[in-house]
Amino acid sequence: MTPESMDLIFAALAHATRRRIMDLVKEMPGCSVADVCKYFDTSRIAVMKHLRVLEEAQLIVPRKRGRVRELYLNVVPLQLIHDRWTTEYSTFWATQATDLKFRLESLGQDDSPTTDAATAQRRSASGNDRPGRKRP
């Protein structure tokens, strides 16, 4: 999973219209481009551009059948991202999730230092709070 493909996947997901297209294709596997267009007020070309973004991210897979392009959802990119990020943040997951003192709304400039995410991380930090020098 290259950083570039990760960029493509996240960028594709970063738009409500594209997420809705994914939901539609998930609910109607093999639907056509015109079918998807029925659900949006924007022009067909705009939908096609969104589809292109989704296809470049491999999130939607087309299958040419006659003159129609049947669209299918492909969850493999989602799985890859899921795997990478859960392993990468598994420790944090547990730390912040099980910390009953954690409150999202207390973040920021709150002066009570025992009831926020920052404190939870300070407690679980391994000591290298400051970088020594530039990592190559």
Partner DNA sequence: GTCATAGGTAACCGATACGTTACTTATCGG
Partner DNA sequence: CCGATAAGTAACGTATCGGTTACCTATGAC
Residues contributing to the site for its own copies (CB under 8 A):
3, 6-7, 9-11, 13-16, 19, 23-24, 26-32, 35, 38-39, 58, 61-64, 70, 72-76, 78-79, 82, 85-86, 88-89, 92-93, 96-97, 104, 107-109, 116-118, 121-122, 124-125, 128-131, 133-135
- 29: its two tokens: 């596997």
d(CA 47, CA 103): 40
Name the minimum Å distance from CB 85 to DNA: 19
From 60-68, 83-91, 92-100, 105-113, give the range in contact with DNA by CB under 7 A. Answer: 60-68
50: partner contacted, choices its own copies, DNA, none (Cβ within 5-8 A by kind):
DNA
**Which contacts of 56-65 are long-range, i.e. CB under 8 A and separated by 24 or more positions?**
56/8, 56/12, 57/5, 57/8, 57/9, 57/11, 57/12, 57/13, 58/5, 58/8, 58/9, 59/9, 59/12, 59/13, 59/22, 60/21, 60/22, 60/25, 63/30
Is residue 34 close enough to count as binding DNA by CB under 7 A? yes
The residues of the shown chain that bind DNA, judged by CB under 7 A, are: 11, 14-15, 17, 32-35, 41-46, 48-50, 53, 62, 66-69
